[in-house]
């Protein structure tokens, strides 16, 4: 392997066309992230995967790996700032982990724990956001949406549909459904669609499955997100 | 409605890239974008309805609810506030009988604030149905109210309401040139394309939008694969030249003047660039606020086609090129080149991930060179006079001149052209500014400099600017300025990335808290910490500079911020008493015990 980058002192091979996060994941190095999923086109919006490439901040999920890159990933500075960005996501929406069905299976919650987040730090927005429970099998709780666009991308790239989109500008941004009424029931979303299962938070949930897995037996009850993500996404990269 | 929409789509060849233009038509006809129109357009243009919905919600000039037959927007830039915007818009609202932000019950008129309309040299400014109105006074407002109440068609309003002056106060190298039509094109081909590109490189010309990328390099990268400076290869290649005329930086209005009085040279600069990089299609992305220039520019383009300065086999040089005008619809972010390209493609203006850069993958994925209006003007003149002519002026790293838009507390607001390296003091003397507190150089995204820094220079290596230069005298409050700018960025953030979307809104709240006197001991530290996150982690230039108003003033006037803080260790981040309002209403109580003091005595 002739081409390498260096992340936190570790020499990591990469192939042309790989992003930094792809090379890192393949080498078993975890870079915190929320909007990235190796199955889909990178989006680069959550900014949690920001790393320093030769001293400059770059999103690891979109930035191509290239020879000569010396990258810092896990540093106090970066992780402190990642924590703040995560806190921003928490105060922007209405996230009440103890009463959320996704608790223990939630990437947002898990990454927050991983970064040592113990409070929300910033003042809450307390926006009124709606719940769309119109679909027979799937519901959207807009309070928990972090605009990662994973459902948007999954619907387009995996399901061959176009059920979801993000609309609006700035803090008014919101998840919208591609149906004449704007309601999920009038879209062509099927419960078996990848888009219905991809949400990293509890914004899109499958009905009648709540608490099937008891609290205490959930993914992040027993493993940290770095291990979980590397196992899942490392395998996916190998496909 | 169906027939109208269909015809509109047909006129635009059912092209989804023309979505903004189509929606402008729909908005003008129905005063909003009806749901049925979105459904029909989704079918006709073969795009998801959500893309249209997103565009409508993204751009300030499109609405999902009807606006008034006369939709009046008043600029709320800092220079407007300095001439009493708040009082005048309140007067306007009262006279019209409409609340700010709302539509009058009879549907005739609506009134709202809008971001800087590029008329800071003739404030108070605004827009009526998209057309610029200037120098608003109570008398002129009365006149408009009368027109509105009589429902007088816009073309019968007194012309002087729409009068937009150039106000060129100090022309220099570029503004003194009035080349003849075709002069730059002929000079380019006479010298040779490769040689002309060398001249542009020799001139040291850097992007005039503010970022300062070397123009010749951009053009080289745009046609790096093959065919640069070779028209025979060009015709098979699809590349684009885009003129960025989306000058939305508050305080900037030089492009407005350049397009009003130097458009031929700007178009010629685009044509020269097209010949060099090998583009057959050009766009000028004109900010929606400059609608008043649209017809005039269309006329100039048509005249140039008639004179064979555009179109097929231009001036017998064997190359084809044409220019289309695309109007924006109220989004500052579209000044960012990749957001601009998204907008040209008929989408919301969200900056792309880079790499790839537009020079390799721009409009419709093809190599695209996006340059500022002033850059093209300079390029046209460099093509005629050569690189030396331009490089003789300026500093080692910043060649040539910079055209400034000067406004605020000065005797002569307007357009000034200076060789790079000119000191702030010289400029202040020229524009008649006295008792100066400080200057905002480069607009809200630039730097606030204090009155002990006036020996600093306009240059990429010192004070870089896209042209905005706002003067403040000692009667102004710095925190009012910061307040206005923070609200501006929160309003204009595209919302794509977390640090900017959430951060600019948090910053707005935090600045409000301090300005309104609710700040306490830890709040300055919290403010600065928030600024650093926004600056260091945002996706694009908007976010990376959105905290500059706070950072550059906090650095210079820390005591001012400190003086706003209460002398207590902790203050709730929200209004306790106000938060009890709902509870009081429900309990039918308004006695003393139903109220809370913000802080315990």
Number of domains in chain A: 2
Q: How confident is the model at residue B235, as a pLDDT? A: 54
Q: Name the residue among A218, A12, B190 with its Cα closest to residue A3.
A: A12
Q: Are the Cβ atoms of B506 and A88 closer than 8 angstroms?
A: yes
Separation between Cα atoms, residue B255 and residue B468, nearest integer Å: 11
Q: pLDDT tens digits for B537-573?
A: 999 999 999 999 999 999 999 999 999 987 766 667 6
Torsion angles phi and psi, residue B441, rounded to 5 = -100, 120
Measured over the CA atoms of residue B53, residue B57, residue B61 and residue B67, the dihedral's sign is positive
Same domain, A99 and A217: yes
CA neighbours closer than 13 Å in the CB half-sphere of residue B578? 4
Asked whether the predicted pLDDT for residue B231 surpasses 70, the reply is no
Q: How confident is the model at residue B569, as a pLDDT? A: 64
Chain CA centroid to CA B280, Å: 27
Separation between Cα atoms, residue B80 and residue B407, nearest integer Å: 10
**Chain B: residue whose CA lies nearest to A177:** B50
Q: Do domains B70-165 and B401-476 have the same CATH topology?
A: no
Extract the runs of DSSP E, i.e. beta strands, from B199-327: 240-245, 281-286, 322-327
Q: Give start and end residues of each alpha helix (H) in B159-262.
A: 183-191, 193-203, 215-222, 231-234, 254-261
3-state SS, residue B244 = strand
Percent of chain A with pLDDT over 90: 96
Peptide bond just before B124 cis, omega within 30 deg: yes
Chain CA centroid to CA B554, Å: 25
DSSP output for A205-233: EETT-TTSS-TTSSHHHHS-HHHHHHHHH
- Whether B457 contacts B502, CB under 8 Å: no
Chain CA centroid to CA B376, Å: 18
Q: How confident is the model at residue B187, as a pLDDT? A: 98
Q: How confident is the model at residue B69, as a pLDDT? A: 97
**Chain B: residue whose CA lies nearest to A61:** B353
Separation between Cα atoms, residue B121 and residue B37, nearest integer Å: 39
Q: How confident is the model at residue A238 (pLDDT cuts 50, 70, 90)?
A: very low
Q: What is the mean pLDDT of chain B?
A: 95
**A40 vs A61, A83, B170, CA distance in Å?**
11, 25, 54
Q: How confident is the model at residue B578, as a pLDDT? A: 87
Q: How confident is the model at residue B527, as a pLDDT? A: 96
A79: how many CB neighbours lie within 10 A of its CB?
15
Q: How confident is the model at residue B579, as a pLDDT? A: 85
Separation between Cα atoms, residue B360 and residue B222, nearest integer Å: 6
Same domain, A90 and A207: yes
Average pLDDT of span A107-114: 98
Domain, as residue range, for A20: 4-79+228-238
Q: How confident is the model at residue A236, as a pLDDT? A: 56
Q: How confident is the model at residue A1 (pLDDT cuts 50, 70, 90)?
A: low
Sheet holding A138-141, edge to edge: A131-132, A138-141, A204-206
Same domain, A20 and A123: no
Same domain, A66 and A106: no
Same domain, A120 and A133: yes
Q: Are the Cβ atoms of B495 and A42 closer than 8 angstroms?
A: no
Pick one of 3.40.50.2020, 3.10.105.10, 3.10.20.600, 3.40.605.10 as the CATH number of B401-476. Answer: 3.10.20.600
CATH code where residue A159 lies: 3.30.70.20
List the single range of A124-128, B180-184, B247-251, B514-518 with lowest mean pLDDT: B514-518
Q: Name the residue among B262, B266, B282 with its Cα closest to residue B274.
A: B282
Q: Name the residue among B402, B445, B441, B443 with its Cα closest to residue B420.
A: B402
Find tokens 């002569």 and name the residue: B412
Q: Name the residue among B464, B383, B429, B425 with its Cα closest to residue B203.
A: B383
Give the single-character DSSP code of B357.
P
Same domain, A60 and A73: yes
Q: How confident is the model at residue A235, as a pLDDT? A: 62
3-state SS, residue A132 = strand
Residues A20-30 as b or e (16 or more Cβ within 10 Å = b)? bbbbbbbbebb
Asked whether the predicted pLDDT for residue B456 surpasses 90, the reply is yes
Q: Is A222 exposed, middle or buried (0-12, 13-18, 19+ CB in 10 A)?
A: exposed
Q: Which of B58, B355, B573 is opposite residue A169, by nearest beta carbon?
A: B58
Return the structure tokens found at A238: 């190998």
Pick one of 2.102.10.10, 3.30.70.2740, 3.40.30.10, 3.40.50.620 as the CATH number of B70-165. Answer: 3.40.30.10
> Cβ neighbours of residue B588 under 8 Å, at least 6 residues apart?
none
Q: Does B75 touch chain A (CB under 8 A)?
A: no
Separation between Cα atoms, residue A77 and residue B390, nearest integer Å: 45
Q: Which of A47, A64, A178 is opposite residue B498, by nearest beta carbon?
A: A47
- Whether A43 contacts A33, CB under 8 Å: no
Q: CATH says B169-391 is which class?
A: alpha beta
Domain range summary for chain B, segments of one domain joined by +: 2-58, 70-165, 169-391, 401-476, 479-563, 576-601
Rounded to a whole number, what is the distance in Å from the CA of B71 to chain A's nearest CA?
21
3-state SS, residue B222 = helix
3-state SS, residue B126 = strand
Same domain, A110 and A96: yes
Q: How confident is the model at residue A239, as a pLDDT? A: 41
Q: Is A134 exposed, middle or buried (0-12, 13-18, 19+ CB in 10 A)?
A: middle
Best to test chain A binding among B352, B356, B496 (most A CBs inside 10 Å) = B496
- Which residues, numbered 506 to 535 in chain B, qualify as contacts with chain A under a Cβ-Cβ cut-off of 8 Å? 506, 509, 529-530, 533
CATH code where residue A64 lies: 3.10.20.740
Q: pLDDT tens digits for B276-292?
A: 999 999 999 999 999 99
Pick one of 1.20.1560.10, 3.20.10.10, 1.20.140.10, 1.20.1440.230 as the CATH number of B479-563. Answer: 1.20.1440.230
Q: pLDDT tens digits for A135-182?
A: 999 999 999 999 999 999 999 999 999 999 999 999 999 999 999 999
Best to test chain A binding among B41, B54, B498 (most A CBs inside 10 Å) = B498
Q: Give start and end residues of each alpha helix (H) in chain A.
A: 20-26, 76-92, 107-114, 150-157, 219-222, 225-238
Q: Which of B50, B502, B537 is opposite residue A57, by nearest beta carbon?
A: B537
Q: pLDDT tens digits for A46-92?
A: 999 999 999 999 999 999 999 999 999 999 999 999 999 999 999 99
Residues A145-179 as b or e (16 or more Cβ within 10 Å = b)? bbbbbbbbbbbbeebebbbbbbbbbbbebbbbbbb
């Amino acid at each position: 392997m002739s081409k390498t980058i260096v992340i936190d002192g570790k020499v990591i091979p990469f192939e042309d066309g790989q992003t930094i996060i792809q090379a890192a994941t393949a080498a078993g190095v975890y870079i915190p992230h929320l909007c990235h999923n190796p199955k889909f086109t990178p989006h680069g919006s959550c900014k949690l995967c920001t790393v320093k490439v030769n001293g400059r901040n770059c999103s690891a999920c979109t930035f191509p790996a290239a020879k000569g890159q010396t990258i810092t990933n896990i540093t106090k500075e970066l992780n402190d700032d990642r924590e703040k960005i995560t806190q921003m996501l928490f105060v922007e929406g209405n996230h009440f982990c103890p009463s959320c069905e996704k608790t223990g299976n939630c990437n947002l919650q898990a990454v927050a724990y991983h970064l040592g987040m113990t409070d929300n730090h910033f003042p809450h927005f307390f926006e009124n956001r709606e719940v769309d429970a119109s679909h027979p099998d799937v519901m959207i709780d807009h309070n928990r949406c972090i605009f990662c666009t994973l459902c948007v991308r999954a619907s387009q790239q995996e399901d061959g549909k176009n059920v979801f989109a993000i609309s609006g500008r700035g803090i008014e941004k919101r998840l919208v459904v591609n149906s004449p009424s704007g309601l999920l029931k009038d879209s062509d979303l099927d419960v078996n669609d990848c888009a219905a299962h991809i949400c990293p938070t509890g914004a899109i949930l499958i009905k009648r499955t709540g608490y099937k897995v008891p609290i205490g037996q959930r993914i992040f009850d027993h493993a940290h997100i770095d291990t979980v993500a590397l196992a899942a996404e490392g395998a996916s990269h190998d496909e | 409605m169906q027939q109208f929409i269909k015809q509109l789509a047909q006129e635009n060849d059912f092209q989804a890239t023309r979505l903004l233009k189509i929606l402008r038509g729909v908005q003008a006809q129905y005063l909003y974008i009806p749901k049925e129109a979105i459904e029909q357009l989704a079918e006709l243009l073969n795009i998801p309805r959500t893309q249209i919905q997103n565009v409508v919600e993204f751009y300030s000039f499109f609405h999902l609810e009807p606006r008034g037959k006369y939709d009046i927007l008043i600029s709320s830039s800092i220079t407007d506030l300095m001439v009493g915007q708040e009082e005048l818009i309140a007067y306007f609202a009262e006279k019209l009988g409409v609340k700010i932000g709302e539509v009058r019950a009879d549907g005739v008129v609506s009134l709202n604030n809008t971001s800087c309309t590029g008329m800071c040299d003739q404030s108070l400014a605004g827009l009526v149905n998209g057309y610029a109105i200037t120098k608003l006074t109570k008398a002129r407002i009365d006149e408009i109210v009368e027109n509105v109440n009589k429902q007088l068609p816009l073309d019968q309003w007194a012309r002087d309401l729409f009068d937009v002056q150039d106000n060129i106060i100090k022309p220099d190298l570029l503004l003194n040139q009035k080349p003849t039509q075709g002069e730059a094109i002929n000079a380019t081909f006479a010298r040779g394309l490769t040689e002309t590109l060398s001249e542009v490189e020799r001139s040291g010309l850097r992007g005039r939008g503010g970022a300062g990328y070397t123009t010749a390099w951009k053009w080289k990268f745009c046609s790096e694969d093959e065919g640069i400076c070779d028209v025979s290869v060009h015709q098979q290649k699809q590349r684009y030249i885009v003129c960025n005329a989306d000058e939305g930086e508050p305080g900037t209005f030089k492009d407005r003047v350049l397009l009003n009085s130097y458009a031929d040279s700007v178009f010629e600069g685009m044509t020269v660039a097209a010949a060099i990089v090998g583009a057959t299609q050009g766009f000028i992305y004109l900010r929606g606020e400059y609608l008043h220039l649209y017809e005039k520019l269309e006329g100039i383009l048509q005249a140039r086609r008639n004179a064979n300065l555009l179109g097929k086999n231009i001036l017998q040089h064997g190359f084809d090129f044409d220019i289309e005008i695309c109007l924006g619809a109220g989004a500052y972010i579209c000044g960012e080149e990749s957001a601009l390209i998204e907008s040209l493609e008929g989408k919301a203006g969200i900056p792309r991930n880079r790499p790839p850069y537009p020079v390799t993958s721009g409009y419709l994925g093809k190599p695209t060179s996006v340059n500022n209006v002033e850059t093209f003007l300079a390029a046209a003149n460099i093509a005629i006079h050569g690189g030396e002519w331009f490089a003789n002026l300026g500093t080692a790293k910043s060649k040539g001149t910079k055209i400034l838009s000067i406004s605020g507390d000065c005797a002569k607001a307007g357009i000034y052209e200076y060789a790079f390296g000119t000191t702030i003091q010289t400029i202040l003397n020229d524009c008649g500014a006295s008792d100066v507190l400080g200057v905002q150089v480069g607009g809200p995204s630039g730097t606030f400099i204090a009155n002990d820094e006036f020996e600093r220079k306009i240059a990429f290596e010192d004070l870089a600017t896209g042209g905005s230069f706002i003067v403040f005298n000692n009667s102004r409050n710095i925190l009012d300025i910061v307040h206005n700018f923070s609200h501006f960025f929160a309003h204009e953030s595209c919302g794509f990335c977390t640090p900017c979307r959430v951060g600019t809104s948090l910053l707005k709240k935090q600045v409000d808290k301090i300005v309104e006197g609710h700040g306490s001991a830890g709040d300055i530290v919290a403010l600065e910490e928030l600024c650093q996150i926004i600056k260091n982690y945002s996706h694009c230039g908007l976010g990376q500079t959105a905290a500059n108003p706070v950072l550059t003033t906090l650095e210079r006037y820390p005591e001012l911020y400190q003086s706003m803080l209460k002398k207590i260790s902790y203050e709730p981040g929200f209004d306790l008493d106000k938060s009890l309002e709902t509870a009081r209403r429900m309990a039918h109580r308004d006695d003393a015990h139903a109220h809370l003091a913000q802080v315990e005595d």
